[in-house]
Structure 1
Amino acid sequence: MKSILWIQLVILSIFISCELPGPQQDEQTQKEEQQMAQPEMIKIEGGTVDPFGTAKTVTVTPFYLDKHLVTYQQYNQFIEDGGYKNKKYWSEEGRKFLEKYEFWVPSTYHEAYLNRKALPVTGVSWYEAEAYANWRGARLPTAAEWTLACQGDTKQRYPWGDEFDFEAIDYRARLAPYAVGTREKNVSPAGVFDLVGNVWQWCADAYEGKDFRLEVEPTGTKPGPLKILRGGAWMSLRRHFESDYLYYDKPFHRLATYGFRCAKDVE
């Protein structure tokens, strides 16, 4: 599975020029940017979910979740506000990550994406996603919360239902991510867009090996060397889009298929 994701990164670097906007895109681009300038959150009512299809249920309390994936425009506000330099947004491990690699922008931070600010930000590590969430006064969602937002009380396989829909995510019709919220069918019962099929999404939880499925941590607070991702990306396998699919990676990896969205507690 790892080799598949690295192949995606190589292909994306080859075809990224396809995303450069032309004059005919200007009006649509402006509309997208206006809609995505400020994050909108949706309240997800609590419920019981089986996050990974193992008959092990988790009770989730109500929470807020970003309606859309975090975009380049939104993430750039974090950069311009000194987010990479302000240590208060970074965990101890996150600060070690910055000191070691000296990253100050996402790995995909270049003209082809910056000209389309409504694209989901990608090329960010788990540490960067966590720091952005802290800057916003939010947090990363747990895997159980992500599942509840995807399924609602329907327990359905995909955000839109139980049957795979090629049109919902333009499956295999694109060679890069698409602007958030532009695929009307790719929406969950709660009204959350692009939970699958656009970019993988970092979750708060640590993956703890083969026994993790039997010991789901509903608060997502356990530390660990691997972090969970959900949702699949623009060139993933169909199985990756199912609401109980579990993937994980090292928190410092910054693939061009990795993005995120934020969550927040209901006070």
Structure 2
Amino acid sequence: MKVRRSTIDNKIRIGLIIAFIVGLVLLSVSLYRAMQPKFDNDLVRIPAGEFIMGSDSGRSDERPKHLVYLDTFEIDRYELTNAQYRHFLQVTERTVPRYWSGDEYPPGLENYPVVGVSWDDADAYCKWVGMRLPTEAEWEKACRGTDGRVYPWGDEWDANRANVIVSSVTRSWDEAWTLLATPNAMPVLKPVGSYPTGASPYGVMDMAGNASEWIFDWYNWRDYTGLPDHNPIVTAPPWNHVVRGSAWFDLYGDVEWAKQQSQCSARNSSHETQDPRMGFRCVRTIE
């Protein structure tokens, strides 16, 4: 009887140990899933092929107009929203945008593009979801398609197709942050996808207006001469990263500036700091 009872006790102990191990595994899986990105992401596939990049009538850094070949890739249809970015912050504890209150964005702005995100944080988010920031060439192709159009919607400027405030609403960054934190004060940013008639040929939204967007490339202030015509990318770091797309406001506040900045070929750059105009979207390579 003693031997039999000892055998039973050992089996019970082994069973408890196995149950404990299984419980730990299930808990680990649950925690892992809780840390993964939770959002509905709408991706647009951009097929491989050539497109017209640059402009012969734009600023010197947009010249010359030339053909570029890109492999297939997918890009976010919309700029990243506050709600999507909030989950990332909860898991990673990276820098919170300046206009948020603690770790919360202003009420009612869940579907508005997140702005005030540094290049480093934008890059980290895209990697976190298994993607990356777009190259200049990828962004421009997604914006203008293959027909060389000037704006996402065509060749003629139309202020009704993009959230670009052509009269200056502010002359300082501090005022801009205040406006973002008090959305009812006046219409500044808009929910992503609010201008469907401003979509690109591929259906990518808000590539003109709302938020300017961080790009993976470092900014080459010279023209495009000498860059490869197959999947070009500038990786040598001078000082700034490229920024593409016009924004909900600028410090100039005039129509001609808004028109120029809304062109698909327009280029800008910025330091890796928080900027009330700056948002982003991600892409992924299709093998």
- Tell me the TM-score normalised to structure 1 length: 0.73
| Structure 2 runs not aligned, ≥5 long | 1-37, 56-63, 167-185, 251-257
CA distance in 1, matches of 2:282, 2:247: 17
Check if 1:191 corresponds to 2:203.
Answer: yes
1:105-126 deviations in Å (ceiling 9; x for gaps): 1223236645311000000111
- What count of residue pairs does the alignment treat as equivalent? 211
CA distance in 2, matches of 1:112, 1:152: 34
> Given that residues 149 and 155 in structure 2 are in contact (C-alpha distance below 8 angstroms), is that contact kept between their aligned partners in structure 1?
yes
Query: Which secondary structure does the structure 2 equivalent of 1:48 belong to?
Result: strand
Check if 1:81 corresponds to 2:91.
Answer: yes
- Cα distance, 1:156 vs. partner? 0.7
Name 1:129's counterpart in structure 2.
Answer: 122
Check if 1:58 corresponds to 2:71.
Answer: no
Check if 1:105 corresponds to 2:118.
Answer: no
> Given that residues 56 and 214 in structure 1 are in contact (C-alpha distance below 8 angstroms), is that contact kept between their aligned partners in structure 2?
no
Counterpart of 2:42, as a letter, is: E
CA distance in 1, matches of 2:107, 2:125: 18
CA distance in 2, matches of 1:113, 1:159: 30
1:70-90 deviations in Å (ceiling 9; x for gaps): 000001111112253xxxxxx
Check if 1:204 corresponds to 2:204.
Answer: no
- Cα distance, 1:163 vs. partner? 0.9
Name 1:4's counterpart in structure 2.
Answer: none
| Structure 1 runs not aligned, ≥5 long | 1-35, 85-103
CA RMSD of aligned residues (A): 2.1
- Cα distance, 1:234 vs. partner? 1.3
> Given that residues 163 and 208 in structure 2 are in contact (C-alpha distance below 8 angstroms), is that contact kept between their aligned partners in structure 1?
no
Name 2:281's counterpart in structure 1.
Answer: 261
Aligned CA distance change for structure 1 residues 136 and 114 (closer, same or farther; 3 Å): farther
| 1:1-267 to 2 correspondences below 5 Å | 37-53=39-55, 54-82=64-92, 84=94, 104-110=95-101, 113-172=106-165, 175-211=187-223, 213-216=224-227, 218-220=231-233, 222-224=235-237, 225-236=239-250, 237-250=258-271, 252-267=272-287
1:192-233 deviations in Å (ceiling 9; x for gaps): 11011111101111113325x224463536031211111110
- Tell me the TM-score normalised to structure 2 length: 0.68
Query: Which secondary structure does the structure 2 equivalent of 1:144 belong to?
Result: helix
Q: Which of these two proteins has the greater Rg computed from alpha carbons?
A: 2
CA distance in 1, matches of 2:75, 2:87: 19
